Amino acid sequence: MNSEKARTCRKWPLCPPDSFLDEELRTLQDRHLYRKVRAIDRTGAVRGILDGRSLCLFCGNDYLGLSFHPEVVGALIEGARRYGAGAGAARLTSGHASVHAALEARLAAVKNKENALVYSTGYLANLGILTALAGPEDLVVMDKLCHASMVDAARLSGAAIRVYPHRLYRRCEEILKRSPGFRRKILVTESVFSMDGDTADIAELIRLKEKFGCLLVVDDAHGTGVLGRRGGGAAEDPAQSEKIDVVMGTLSKALGCLGGYAAASSKMIDYLTNFSRPFIFTTALPPALCAAALAAVDVLERNPGLFESLWRHVRRMREGLTAAGLSYEPSESPIFPVMTGDEAEALRLSQTLLEAGFLVPAIRYPTVPKGKARLRLTVSAAHSDDDIDAFLAALRCSLKSI
Ligand code: PLP
């Protein structure tokens, strides 16, 4: 019996059609996996108010503090006055403005590519890139820890999917060797892994891409503003960038705004413009946000001090964590996972830190694999040395008390 027939022939117990809601939510609560949004009114890049209490945030992706930078905020306000609050239509109808084109040209230059295509979010960019490049005749090969947006994209594309253990490129090579007969093979990785903070070996992936004739897509969401000699990300080196077929990025992390993009050859961007459904069938990113993102790129390029502060803080945090018995050698990014494994323990640690005035939510399945719960600490250029020292003191106490 095929699975469709098996589903429809099986006798399901008669119950109200929404009874599964309570059941599923209760199961999540029992497993310490239940989640709820909390209103945190940010008052600065790393400050916020929760239930009337002022908190210092060690959990965001605003690595350079640009979401509150006066030039970025000013460009957003001025952009809204000039262009309105929204784009009013999809890009291929009347939603495309010259500021979208200006932002795309700028992002292409940052990533050493001929052109770029802006999407409404980074999630949609990944969905748009992979579903345009891959179909049922193709193979997507990805790192086990690739972000959910890439996993969802690969599934939606209908391609065969093979996953190699995290950063185990020998296994990636074996998979490629043992996978003849596909129309296209697409290698997918993050540059900085969002929940672990370590980095991919892009040079090795380029070697594999060339050996097996694959396309290489690199999600540089957490690399932009963070990696390279001046925050250009995984594609800062033109020689390396040339070998990456599509560099995906977001405007929502170190650039402090919202939106995603693909940077690639002009031909690839032309192709994505025509075949990328999450680009075609949605309203364009508001032009005011394009103006803000342009200002953020300007600030990043004109203020190398921000990038230097970020890395000074990364080193300070790493040294403090090492002194507390947690090892992160070498620090590859501003992301530090404090592993608890157990979900309930991650929640307790997060709550103890909250009581001390620091917000670091517990990260649990399905964001990370089951049994790999953690706190995901991040530092920003916007923290002060005192913030980091106070946080480390609170963390040491919290680790003793849980
Ligand atoms: N890719 C990675 C690696 C991410 O961590 C995220 C966001 O968390 C995204 C893509 C999606 O980006 P956005 O938040 O801009 O939709």
Write out pLDDT tens, residues 80-104.
999 999 999 999 999 999 999 999 9
Q: What's the total number of domains in the chain? A: 2
pLDDT at residue 211 above 60?
yes
Atom 13 of ligand 1, nearest CA residue? 122
User: Are 206 and 281 contained in the same domain?
Assistant: yes
User: Are 220 and 337 contained in the same domain?
Assistant: no
Per-residue model confidence as pLDDT tens digits over 164-187: 999 999 999 999 999 999 999 999
Per-residue model confidence as pLDDT tens digits over 182-201: 999 999 999 999 999 999 99
Three-state DSSP class for residue 162: strand
Q: Considering the domain boundaries, does residue 6 fall inside one?
A: no
Domain coverage including residue 123: 69-302
User: Are 327 and 208 contained in the same domain?
Assistant: no
Which pTM does this prediction carry? 0.94
Q: Considering the domain boundaries, does residue 3 fall inside one?
A: no
b/e map 53-78, b = 16+ CB within 10 Å: eebbbbbbbbbbbbbbbeebeebbee
Q: Is the CB of 221 under 6 A from ligand 1?
A: yes
pLDDT of residue 145: 95
Q: Considering the domain boundaries, does residue 250 fall inside one?
A: yes
Which of 302, 335, 359 lies at the terminal end of a domain, its last residue?
Answer: 302
Based on the residue annotation, tell me whether 194 is a catalytic residue of this protein: yes
Q: Considering the domain boundaries, does residue 124 fall inside one?
A: yes
pLDDT of residue 319: 93
Q: Where are the beta strands (DSSP E) in 46-159?
A: 47-50, 53-57, 115-119, 139-143
Find the CATH number of the domain harbouring 321.
Answer: 3.90.1150.10
pLDDT of residue 2: 64
Q: Considering the domain boundaries, does residue 88 fall inside one?
A: yes
Share of residues in the chain with pLDDT > 90 (%): 87
Q: Considering the domain boundaries, does residue 166 fall inside one?
A: yes
Measured distance CA(132)–CA(281) in Å, rounded: 13
Q: Looking at 105-109, 294-298, 308-312, 330-334, which range is the least confident one?
A: 330-334
Q: Considering the domain boundaries, does residue 392 fall inside one?
A: yes
Averaged pLDDT of the chain = 95
User: Are 276 and 383 contained in the same domain?
Assistant: no
pLDDT at residue 380 above 60?
yes
Q: Where are the beta strands (DSSP E) in 287-372?
A: 335-341, 358-359, 362-363
pLDDT at residue 3 above 70?
no
Per-residue model confidence as pLDDT tens digits over 322-343: 998 887 766 689 999 999 999 9
Based on the residue annotation, tell me whether 54 is a catalytic residue of this protein: no
pLDDT of residue 83: 97
pLDDT of residue 329: 64
Q: Say which residue the tokens 């965001």 belong to.
A: 60
User: Are 231 and 355 contained in the same domain?
Assistant: no
Q: Considering the domain boundaries, does residue 21 fall inside one?
A: no
- Both tokens of residue 254? 């170190």
Q: Looking at 124-128, 138-142, 146-150, 320-324, which range is the least confident one?
A: 320-324
Measured distance CA(130)–CA(104) in Å, rounded: 19
pLDDT category of residue 17 using cuts at 50, 70 and 90? confident
pLDDT of residue 330: 63
pLDDT of residue 13: 77
Q: If you measure from the C-alpha of residue 58 to the centroid of ligand 1, how many angstroms do you get, rounded to a whole number?
A: 18
Catalytic residue, candidates 222, 313, 372, 383: 222
- Measured from the Cα of 146, ligand 1's closest atom is 3
Which of 251, 284, 302 lies at the terminal end of a domain, its last residue?
Answer: 302
pLDDT of residue 11: 80
pLDDT of residue 214: 98
User: Are 135 and 200 contained in the same domain?
Assistant: yes
pLDDT of residue 277: 98
Q: What is the mean pLDDT of residues 361-384?
A: 93
User: Are 184 and 91 contained in the same domain?
Assistant: yes
Which of 302, 319, 335 lies at the terminal end of a domain, its last residue?
Answer: 302
User: Are 35 and 83 contained in the same domain?
Assistant: no
User: Are 110 and 209 contained in the same domain?
Assistant: yes
User: Are 211 and 332 contained in the same domain?
Assistant: no
User: Are 317 and 285 contained in the same domain?
Assistant: no
b/e map 250-289, b = 16+ CB within 10 Å: bbbbbbbbbbbbbbbeeebbeebbeebebbbebebbbbbb
Q: What is the mean pLDDT of residues 250-275?
A: 98
pLDDT at residue 1 above 80?
no
Based on the residue annotation, tell me whether 370 is a catalytic residue of this protein: no
More confident call, 57 vs 402: 57
Q: If you measure from the C-alpha of residue 251 to the centroid of ligand 1, how many angstroms do you get, rounded to a whole number?
A: 9
User: Are 165 and 274 contained in the same domain?
Assistant: yes
pLDDT category of residue 16 using cuts at 50, 70 and 90? confident
